[in-house]
């Protein structure tokens, strides 16, 4: 199988304000794959997600990121989004005054416009999202509220995956989507994510705990510690980590699959 | 010579360029203001004696007043002797095609979605469909006449309904009210007059567009609206297209009289006077006195405004709540960008019992704009059981702009209730990034968030105005986020 990778991270070094956080990341993601990144606090997981999404405030000092052959780091965040990069935020922000449905329709139409597809009007949009809402067990009322305003933690996370379902990205980065969720909410979110998996898209699941990976089964697990990927393995690696803790990996020599 | 004086001089000279090449008699007078000028204005307009007397009284009083300086805006001194106070209504210089119009202006028209015919009309290009506009206006006048609504220019009203004018002119804003009102009362040129008879709900929204008047927008406009018992009217003032005028100072006076029981006047303004260039040069000073009086029991006056223009805005549309159970409302969005300054707000004076007032003021500051809200809620001793709710929200875009709030609250009885809420916020980087990450550009994100911020006010505008106002806000905020 000689597929072209969807995302190639080559020797990525990055940090903030003179502090190095990522110290040489190499990662290759192919379409149809689910990759998990696990690591202790401060390992650089969220930094990696932020840099891929294009958040300001980070400095890339070395390395390259290719997305579908494009130089990802050269693109503005909205351009990356229109090319099919989606970040499910760890802490989704509230936007008072901006209606959720209106917001999502605007986003979808930007992406459709970029792809050369026709924009959806309000009726078409509502029809599209109705079924996706059911998938994530979201109450239709939620869409009438301003973006994330008054949403519970669980609702916010489900809303992120709901948006993912509507925007249909090629690369979905899930930044600690399981944090703050109880087991039931977790199952709903995971089921949603699984339903969205296809042969032509890729999911990058960033998580601190193994628990989520019981429901979202990864093809590859990478362990990130202190800005470096120390080890890559299959889904069993996650279980081993759960059992033995991060120190076990840190004390070993780096092994990549 | 101050910059303002130079600018006025420059513009004054421009007038002669457009001048009266076909008329033998020049129909303007030299710059300067004195009693003779006031008499001349009145004579030229063929006004009855009561009006001349009224003007003279106002002028003499103006001479005793000093220009107010308590406001939080700064501008170079205005030379009142450098202006021309009378110019015969004349057609605007007619251009032959849109190609002759300033391309910047055309770009703005495009963004605001203004139709071609409308573009031509606004920029002085001969309108092909003259027949259309005349016939539209004619049908319109017929519908109004059928129900007894009077809607015409102020000058027409003076000729055709002098009794009404005499009775109500100055009844809400007396000539001596303030410096600019006094000046306006002495030299006002024209404006709108509207009278709604008892029990009539005006069948359409009245707008300055429909006033058949080829004159340039006056420097000193005067508007008077009267609603009898059970009458209702919705009046739209203004224009979303940038209004450039030769005169730098605009000091209009608007008086609303909700005369009878259950009468209601809704007055909406979308104003986009030329705000000056990016460096704060030029731009119009909009110093206007607007006031409504709820005389009838259960009457209601609502002011809704979206102000994005003018270099300096100084206006406080107010309501005097005299009739018991009367209601006053003020909904406002004021935007200041680049070097604009605004000192605006409202006064709600509760005189009658159980009167209610609502104030929602949204200020948006960008660039180096300075936005000031100045509001007075005054509940008089006998206004028992009255209520006020005020909400002043400021949104700051960037770190070089300012927002200041000066609320004045005076309550003179113990059975009334006053609530005041205020908030100041910025658009967070996180919010912008969230929008970006969903494919929405930063400018669109700002527009969305600002629109959300202004929603409550836009909701009060008549529909087409609301759509235009939203677009206008987008255009005015362009490039404000660096």
The predicted pLDDT at position B13 comes to 37
Q: Is residue B108 part of a domain?
A: no
Portion of chain B with pLDDT greater than 90, in percent: 52
Q: Which of B241, B205, B192 is nearest to B469 (CA)?
A: B241
Q: Is residue B112 part of a domain?
A: no
DSSP assignments along B351-395, one per residue: -STT-EEEEEEEEEE-TT-EEEEEEEEEE-TT-TT-EEEEEEEEE
d(CA B137, CA B211): 8
Least confident of A184-188, B116-120, B351-355: B116-120
The predicted pLDDT at position A255 comes to 55
Mean pLDDT of B198-226: 75
Helix, strand, or coil (residue B19): coil
Does residue B471 surpass a pLDDT of 80? yes
> What are the pLDDT digits (tens) for A126-151?
988 988 888 888 888 888 899 999 99
Does residue A2 surpass a pLDDT of 60? no
Give residue B93's pLDDT band: very low, low, confident or very high (50, 70, 90): low
Does residue B394 surpass a pLDDT of 90? yes
Q: Is residue B106 part of a domain?
A: no
Mean pLDDT of B146-157: 90
The DSSP output letter for A139 is -
Portion of chain A with pLDDT greater than 90, in percent: 72
The predicted pLDDT at position A62 comes to 95
Portion of chain A with pLDDT greater than 70, in percent: 97
What does each C-alpha distance from B414 to B150, B351, B376 come to in angstroms?
A: 43, 14, 18
The predicted pLDDT at position B15 comes to 33
The predicted pLDDT at position B130 comes to 35
Q: Which chain A residue has its CA at the smallest distance from B443's CA?
A: A78
**A53/B429 Cβ within 8 A:** no
The predicted pLDDT at position B212 comes to 42
> What are the pLDDT digits (tens) for B345-383?
999 999 999 999 999 999 999 989 999 999 999 999 999
Give residue B209's pLDDT band: very low, low, confident or very high (50, 70, 90): low
The predicted pLDDT at position B216 comes to 47
The predicted pLDDT at position B3 comes to 41
Q: Is residue B31 part of a domain?
A: no
Q: Which of B429, B437, B453 sits opposite A53 (nearest CB)?
A: B437
Does residue A236 surpass a pLDDT of 80? yes
Number of domains comprising chain B: 1
What does each C-alpha distance from A20 to A189, A227, A249, B104 come to in angstroms?
A: 33, 8, 21, 48
Give strand pairing partners of B236.
B207, B268
Of residues B103 and A142, which shows the higher confidence score?
A142
The predicted pLDDT at position B127 comes to 46
Average pLDDT, chain B: 83
Mean pLDDT of B466-472: 84
Q: Is residue B198 part of a domain?
A: yes
> What are the pLDDT digits (tens) for A155-168?
999 999 999 999 99
Give residue B99's pLDDT band: very low, low, confident or very high (50, 70, 90): confident
Q: Is residue B319 part of a domain?
A: yes
Domain that includes residue B365, residue range: 3-16+36-81+84-94+129-476
Q: Is residue B71 part of a domain?
A: yes
The predicted pLDDT at position B11 comes to 40
Q: Which of B430, B433, B453 sits opposite A77 (nearest CB)?
A: B433
Does residue B234 surpass a pLDDT of 70? yes
> What are the pLDDT digits (tens) for B301-350?
999 999 998 888 999 999 999 999 999 999 999 999 888 999 999 999 99
Does residue B202 surpass a pLDDT of 60? yes
Chain A and chain B share a number of CB contacts under 8 A equal to: 76
d(CA B151, CA B407): 36
* Residue environment code for A104-114, b if the CB has 16+ CB neighbours within 10 A, otherwise e: bbbbbbbbbee
ipTM field:
0.95
Task: Mutation target for A interface from B364, B438, B444, B470: give the one with most A CBs within 10 A.
Answer: B438
Contacts of A54 in chain B (CB under 8 A): 436-437
Of residues B151 and B25, which shows the higher confidence score?
B151
The predicted pLDDT at position B84 comes to 73
Contact residues for A65 (Cβ-Cβ < 8 A; gap 6+): A7, A8, A9, A10, A12, A51, A52, A71, A72, A73
Mean pLDDT of A92-118: 94
Task: Mutation target for B interface from A80, A84, A90, A95: give the one with most B CBs within 10 A.
Answer: A95
Cα-Cα-Cα-Cα dihedral of A94, A96, A99, A104, to 10°? -30
> What are the pLDDT digits (tens) for B403-441?
999 999 999 999 999 999 999 988 888 999 999 999 999
> Nearest CA of chain A to the CA of B266: how many Å?
25
Q: Which chain B residue has its CA at the smallest distance from A82's CA?
A: B439
**B453/A92 Cβ within 8 A:** no
Does residue B451 surpass a pLDDT of 70? yes
The DSSP output letter for B205 is -
- Structural domains in chain A, sorted by start: 7-250 (3.40.50.300)
> Nearest CA of chain B to the CA of A241: how many Å?
32
């Amino acid at each position: 199988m000689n597929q072209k990778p969807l995302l190639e991270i080559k020797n990525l070094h990055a940090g903030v304000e003179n502090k190095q956080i990522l110290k040489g990341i190499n990662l290759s993601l192919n379409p149809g794959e689910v990759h998990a990144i696990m690591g202790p606090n401060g390992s650089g997981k969220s930094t990696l997600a932020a840099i891929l999404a294009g958040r300001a405030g980070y400095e890339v000092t070395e390395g390259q990121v290719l997305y579908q052959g494009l130089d990802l780091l050269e693109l503005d965040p909205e351009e990356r989004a229109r090319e099919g990069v989606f970040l499910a935020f760890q802490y989704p922000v509230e936007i008072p005054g901006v209606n959720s449905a209106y917001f999502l329709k605007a986003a979808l139409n930007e992406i459709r416009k970029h792809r050369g597809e026709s924009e959806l009007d309000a009726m078409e949009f509502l029809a599209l999202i109705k079924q996706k809402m059911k998938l994530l067990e979201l109450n239709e009322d939620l869409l009438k509220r301003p973006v994330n305003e008054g949403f519970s933690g669980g609702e916010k996370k489900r809303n992120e995956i709901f948006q993912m379902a509507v925007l249909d990205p090629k690369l979905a980065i899930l930044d600690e989507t399981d944090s703050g969720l109880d087991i039931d909410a977790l199952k709903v979110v995971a089921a949603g994510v699984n339903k969205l998996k296809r042969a032509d898209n890729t999911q990058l699941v960033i998580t601190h705990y193994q628990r989520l990976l019981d429901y979202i089964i990864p093809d590859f697990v990478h362990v990130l510690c202190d800005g470096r990927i120390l080890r890559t393995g299959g889904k069993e690696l996650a279980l081993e980590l759960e059992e033995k803790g991060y120190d076990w990996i840190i004390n070993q020599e780096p092994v990549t699959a | 010579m101050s910059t303002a004086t130079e600018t006025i001089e420059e513009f004054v000279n421009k007038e002669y360029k457009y001048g009266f090449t076909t008329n033998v008699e020049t129909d303007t007078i030299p710059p300067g203001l004195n009693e003779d000028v006031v008499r001349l204005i009145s004579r030229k307009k063929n006004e009855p004696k009561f009006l001349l007397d009224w003007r003279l009284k106002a002028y003499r009083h103006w001479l005793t007043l000093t220009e107010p300086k308590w406001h939080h805006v700064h501008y170079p001194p205005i030379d009142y002797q450098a202006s021309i106070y009378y110019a015969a209504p004349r057609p605007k210089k007619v251009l032959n095609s849109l190609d002759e119009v300033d391309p910047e202006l055309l770009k703005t028209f495009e963004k605001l979605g203004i139709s071609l015919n409308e573009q031509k009309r606004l920029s002085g290009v001969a309108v092909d469909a003259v027949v259309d506009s005349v016939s539209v206006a004619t049908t319109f006048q017929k519908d109004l006449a059928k129900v007894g609504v009077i809607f015409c220019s102020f000058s027409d009203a003076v000729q055709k309904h002098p009794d009404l004018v005499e009775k109500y002119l100055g009844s809400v804003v007396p000539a001596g009210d303030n410096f600019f009102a006094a000046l306006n009362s002495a030299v006002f040129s024209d404006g709108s007059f509207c009278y709604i008879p008892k029990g009539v709900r005006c069948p359409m929204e009245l707008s300055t567009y429909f006033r058949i008047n080829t004159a340039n927008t006056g420097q000193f406009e005067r508007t008077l609206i009267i609603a009898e018992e059970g009458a209702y009217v919705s009046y739209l003032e203004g224009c979303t297209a940038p209004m450039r005028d030769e005169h730098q100072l605009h000091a209009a006076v608007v008086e609303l009289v909700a005369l009878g029981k259950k009468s209601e006047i809704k007055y909406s303004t979308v104003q986009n006077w030329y705000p000056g260039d990016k460096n704060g040069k030029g731009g119009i000073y909009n110093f206007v006195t607007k006031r409504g009086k709820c005389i009838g029991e259960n009457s209601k006056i609502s002011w809704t405004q979206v102000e994005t223009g003018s270099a300096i805005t100084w206006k406080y549309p107010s309501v005097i709540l005299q009739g018991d159970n009367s209601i006053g409302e003020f909904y406002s969005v004021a935007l200041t960008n680049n070097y604009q300054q605004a000192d605006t707000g409202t006064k709600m004076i509760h005189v009658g019992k159980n009167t209610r007032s609502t104030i929602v003021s949204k200020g948006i500051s960008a660039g180096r704009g300075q936005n000031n809200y100045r509001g007075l809620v005054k509940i008089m001793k006998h206004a028992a059981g009255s209520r006020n709710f005020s909400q002043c929200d400021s949104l700051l875009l960037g770190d070089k702009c300012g927002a200041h709030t000066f609320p004045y609250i005076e309550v003179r009885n113990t059975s009334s209730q006053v609530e005041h809420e205020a908030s100041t916020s910025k658009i967070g980087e996180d919010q912008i990034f969230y929008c970006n990450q969903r494919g929405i550009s930063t400018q669109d994100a700002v527009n969305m968030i600002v629109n959300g911020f202004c929603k409550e006010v836009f909701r009060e505008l008549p529909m087409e105005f609301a759509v235009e106002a939203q677009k206008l806000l987008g255009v005015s905020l362009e490039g404000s986020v660096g």
